[in-house]
Amino acid sequence: MTKTWNNKAWFMVLPVVILVAFSALLPLMTVVNYSIQDTFGNNQFFFAGFEWFEEIMTSSRFHDALGRQFLFSTIILAIEVPLGIFIAMNLPSKGWKSSLCLVLISLPLLIPLNVVGTIWQIFGRADIGLLGASIAALGLDYNYTQNAVDAWITIIVMDVWHWTSLVALLCFAGLQSIPEAYYQAARIDGASKWATFRYIQLPKMHGVLLIAVLLRFMDSFMIYTEPFVLTGGGPGNSTTFLSIDLVKMAIGQFDLGPAAAFSLIYFLIILLMSFIFYTVMNSLDKKEG
């Protein structure tokens, strides 16, 4: 008996393929095209090879922004992942209290990115902002527009406030999926809270933690709107991350060739780091298994 394949189902995914082509592939090809060309204006281009890639890779400006970006993402992951796990483990698991807590911690996620930056821009001002006025009342010299350390602290606290909820919700979903039989067995064995977390909860949350780490790394590594609204990349270049530097190069300076090469390098770094995170966490899971 021979099987006959029905390929009509492919027509159902054709709209998605067309949408992806227009929204992702075509712009990507355009960027690749700009990255290997140069122009003197009048819409006349000539082949430049890998000149722009070499210029970006050897630029101290790019290296400085890359270092700031890695530092920011490292701090964010180090704070938000443990904090999200802690919040998830202390949320009510059932009843109306659980629903209320989930709604409350989800509220920051509903706020648009530019509004988040504006909220903290006002919140941190010493003349009209509650945070700035409270710190000034304590006798501390706080000014995120003129002090690089204050600017970094403000951006980190802002990101933690905005995105820790995502990690907490993912971890809460992972905890809810653990069968009660595991906890009953732990109680019979007299396992401590730490042992229950180490050998039951943490392994069972591995899948959602992988998603949380990947999402938060990619989001933090591509952050633009919030720090741009809050500090504009300043004071000086202290909070000029890769995304802000790229926009300055592409729009502010209108250097299309270098900006296109910059964006492709930026994309490949994110892709490589995400692959490394995924591979490492999967290998750890296999060892524990």
CATH code for position 166:
1.10.3720.10
Let me know if residue 121 belongs to a domain: yes
Q: What is the structure's pLDDT at 87?
A: 93
Give 85-91 contacts, CB < 8 A, sequence gap 24+: 85/167, 85/168, 85/171, 85/205, 85/209, 87/164, 87/168, 87/171, 88/167, 88/168, 88/169, 88/170, 88/171, 88/172, 88/174, 88/175, 89/171, 89/175, 89/197, 89/201, 91/168, 91/172
Q: What is the structure's pLDDT at 4?
A: 65
Q: What is the structure's pLDDT at 18?
A: 83
Let me know if residue 5 belongs to a domain: no
Let me know if residue 15 belongs to a domain: no
Q: What is the structure's pLDDT at 131?
A: 87
Q: What is the structure's pLDDT at 152?
A: 95
Let me know if residue 72 belongs to a domain: yes
Identity of the residue numbered 202: L
Let me know if residue 9 belongs to a domain: no
Let me know if residue 3 belongs to a domain: no
Counting as low any pLDDT under 50, the low residues of the chain are none
Q: What is the structure's pLDDT at 285?
A: 67
pTM for the predicted model, two decimal places = 0.86
Let me know if residue 133 belongs to a domain: yes
Let me know if residue 19 belongs to a domain: no
Q: What is the structure's pLDDT at 1?
A: 54
Residue-range definition of the domain harbouring residue 265: 24-38+48-288
Identity of the residue numbered 15: P
CA dist 87 and 81 (Å) reads 10
Per the CB < 8 A criterion, the answer to whether 142 and 136 are in contact is yes
Q: What is the structure's pLDDT at 30?
A: 84
Q: What is the structure's pLDDT at 172?
A: 93
Structural domain count of the chain: 1
